Chain A
Amino acid sequence: MFRWIDHTAELELEIEAPTEAAVFADALAAFAELAGDGDGVPLDEEIRVLAPDRPLRLVAWLEELIYLVETEGFVPERIESLELDGDVLHARVSGRAGSPSHLVKAVTLHRLELGPDESGTWRGRVVLDV
């Protein structure tokens, strides 16, 4: 489950999910909502990201999606598979070719969080420069 909190000039994404992997799936769904629909041919991407800590892995994941839309016109739609193995995230994502008119510029470290709360629910927060 995700929700957007709209600040003056940037967007904050808040995620609440039962597992860590589900946080990444929700982050992709949120990004796909921002990017809008791809209207071209179906595409598949293998994504692998590595980061020194959990919150930075969420940043690296979203940065990878920004990179793919900007350089390859890949608009993500859904996760086909996602594995977390130590510091590495490995995923297969399907989507479509497209050229969204409105881009996410970058993923900031401002108010960045990712981890389980006392009840075991995973909570993620990340602020995007748009």
Chain B
Amino acid sequence: MSELRQLSDVLWELPATGEMRVPARVFADRELLAAIEGDSSLKQIQNVAMLPGVTVAALAMPDVHQGYGFPVGGVAATKLPDGVVSPGGVGYDINCGVRLLALPLTSAELDGRRDSLVHELSRSIPAGTGKTTGHTATLDDVLERGPAARASDEDLERTESRGCLPGADPAAVSERAKERGAGQLGTMGSGNHFVEVQRVARIFDDEAAAAYGLRDDQVTVLIHSGSRGLGHQVCSDYVKQMDAVMRRYGIELPDRQLACAPASSPEGQAYLAAMTAAANFAWANRQAIADSVRAAVARVLGRESADGTQQVYDVAHNVAKVERYDDREVLVHRKGATRAFPAGWGEIPAAYRDVGQPVFIPGSMGTSSFVLAGEPGSLELSFGSTCHGAGRRLSRTSAKKQVSGADLRRELEAQGIVVRSPSNKGLAEEAPLAYKDVERVVDVVERAGLSRRVAQLTPVGVVKG
């Protein structure tokens, strides 16, 4: 492996060598870099730099960790029309993302009703294999238009891409994917997905916080979920399709999971039509969860509180999108990375245009999450992208060896955080010690000029998937 060169305070580069078409760059401070060097992330980001059509550099965010094929926390832009699209560069949970709701009350006002609210949330939002019934929108409509049929215009305006990427084709989504997605609208799933009740613990940027409708001590609800089994199946289907045709396009790569095809090819176009549909499904899923949150708020805190619950924004962190940089059209793959457009940039709600696009960085369970705003450095350095979370540090087994779910539940409750989880095992796997320090990750993206801190949110109740 070639040597890491330091480009700036928190940016490192592995120059293009061997089959790499562009350099690989990593945003990190020295401590995060040491952790990153401890797994296969650097090797994997170098492999990404070998994709045909990849431009400028393959990027790793400070929360990067080893994945399969692409690392988690990676960004790669390919030149259109003939650069490749790689389903593994989006991942199985297409448009996994986060949505933040702001309630019209303070944590002091919530106080005695907190446990009831968390209970109602856990009762009304299925986790694990749980399914929902009663969603009347047809699946094809959701795949084509996302949450449009069920969301208010205000919610749509405060959703990345208004919750709908163009070009979705339900016919490109397999029957099996549709079967897996049926009954999953409004469900959390498992793993690291959650719905968390929080309070605004600190405001760093008064102007942006005011624009986002966030005040000190305000109660917020953060939703983390994606496209569920539908998205998993779309990715599985197209990784195999591209694996079958890649050689025909003269593409050879060191990892089968990097399977890809030119974006302009029939296979590339079919994947983009299906991935887009799955992304729209994910936005409809988070919309349905947000509806359940508002209904729970109405039951516990009253109709007025539910009506006053505002959506701050909704961001995707596993997606590929066509964007323009320096007058060139590129396909930006973000796998475990978030779009972070700065003030003045298009496709940001008018209310946020002077302060930049909101970005939400969930911490690990029981620790702080951050609201960030996009900064101009993201356009110069990272194809309009920033980090997406704390980033895993320990495997699930290691986490379970170091802490029991029951102990963790007691510890969190001692800190004033009530937890609902389908299993103690699943709880231990998501223990805070399994993750990197989210504050350090956020510090790096701020120092790099990709995004800046607006507010810090601390949990008061967690409903785990």
Contacts and interface: CB of A to CB of B under 8 A. Distances in A.
Contacts of B394: 8
A6 B93 contact: no
Contacts of B367: none
B129 A110 contact: no
A103 B398 CA distance: 19
> Interface SS of chain B: helix, strand, loop or mixed?
mixed
A110 B180 contact: no
Interface stretch (A20-28, A67-75, A86-94, A116-124): A67-75
A67 B176 contact: yes
A47 to B, nearest CB: 14
A25 B398 CA distance: 27
Contacts of A102: 128, 190-191, 423, 425-426
B236 A103 contact: no
A10 B68 contact: yes
Nearest to A103: B190
A52 B233 CA distance: 18
B259 interface: yes
Given A8-B65, A70-B180, A110-B69, A103 B392 contact: no
Contacts of B235: 106
Contacts of A127: 68
A75 to B, nearest CB: 10
A115 interface: no
A27 B235 CA distance: 22
B449 interface: no
Interface in A3-29: 4, 6-11
Interface of B: 39, 65-69, 72, 88, 92-93, 127-130, 176, 179-180, 189-191, 229, 232-233, 235-236, 239-240, 243-244, 255-257, 259, 392-398, 422-423, 425-426
Interface of A: 4, 6-11, 52, 56, 59, 63, 66-67, 69-71, 73, 99-103, 105-112, 127, 129-130
